């Protein structure tokens, strides 16, 4: 068993750079996300309404030259239990570190210092095809079910377009 675990970490950690196919700008895809959620979860109407209003807006840009991921979520308004929630435009950058790469998955660590708090987040990016990936959204409030959010490539970029925050 120890040998299997050792080889898993050895193979998984052979890559430390962002794979070139992930570079560029990606946008959350409401249709694919909701299709997955409908198939994998039994949601009540309020959960389905909430999640369908939230996904499909965020854009994420990866750059290997700066080890920065930029995130943009436009201003949005949605309803939760009859209450209108207004969220302002949210732009931020995160440093990232590639922890490992396999043929279909990338383990990534995001380090944020948003609002003075330093947080570390880990994601497994599942590569669906050259223009689609998904991430696990978590199973914590307000989500009470496991879900994946899907992203579609909207453009490839020159890594010179990104600078450090």
For 107: left if phi > 0, alpha if psi spans -120 to 50, otherwise beta; the answer is: beta
What is the spatial distance between Cα 84 and Cα 89, in angstroms, rounded to a whole number? 16
Inside any domain, residue 162: no
Dihedral class, residue 143 (left if φ above 0, else alpha if ψ from -120 to 50, else beta): beta
| Contact yes or no for 27/59 (Cβ under 8 A) | yes
Helix (H, G, I), strand (E, B), or coil: what is residue 97? strand
Q: CATH no. for residue 11?
A: 2.40.128
The candidate with the shortest Cα–Cα distance to 130, out of 49, 26, 56, 5, is 26
CB 64 within 8 A of CB 23: yes
Could you tell me the two tokens for 82? 């009859």
Q: Is residue 21 part of a domain?
A: yes
Q: Which helix (H) or strand (E) holds 33?
A: helix 30-40
pTM for this prediction: 0.76
* CA distances (Å), origin 124, targets 76, 101, 133, 137: 27, 10, 10, 10
Is residue 33 a part of any domain in this protein?
yes
Domains: count for the chain: 1
| Position 165 in a domain | no
Report helix, strand or coil for 122.
strand
Torsions phi, psi for 73 (to 5 deg): -125, 120
Q: Cα(56)–Cα(31) distance, rounded to whole angstroms?
A: 8
User: Residue 93 is part of which domain span?
Assistant: 2-157
Query: What pLDDT tens digit does each residue of the chain (165 aa) get?
Result: 444 443 344 344 444 577 888 889 999 999 999 999 888 887 777 778 878 888 899 999 988 778 888 888 889 887 777 788 888 988 888 888 889 999 899 998 888 766 556 677 788 899 999 999 999 876 555 556 677 899 999 976 544 444 433
């Amino acid at each position: 068993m120890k040998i299997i675990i050792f080889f898993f970490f050895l193979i998984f950690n052979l890559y430390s750079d962002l794979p070139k196919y992930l570079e560029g700008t990606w946008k959350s895809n409401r249709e694919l996300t909701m299709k997955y959620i409908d198939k994998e979860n039994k949601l009540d109407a309020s959960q389905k309404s909430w999640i369908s209003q939230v996904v499909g807006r965020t854009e994420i840009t990866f750059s290997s030259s700066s080890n920065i991921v930029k995130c943009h979520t436009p201003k949005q308004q949605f309803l939760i239990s009859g209450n209108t929630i207004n969220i302002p435009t949210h732009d931020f950058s995160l440093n990232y570190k590639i922890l490992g790469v396999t043929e279909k998955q990338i383990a990534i660590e995001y380090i944020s210092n948003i609002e003075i708090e330093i947080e570390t987040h880990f994601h497994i990016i599942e590569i669906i095809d050259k223009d689609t990936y998904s991430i696990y959204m978590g199973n914590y409030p307000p989500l009470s079910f496991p879900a994946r959010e899907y992203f579609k490539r909207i453009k490839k970029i020159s890594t010179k377009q990104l600078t450090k925050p």
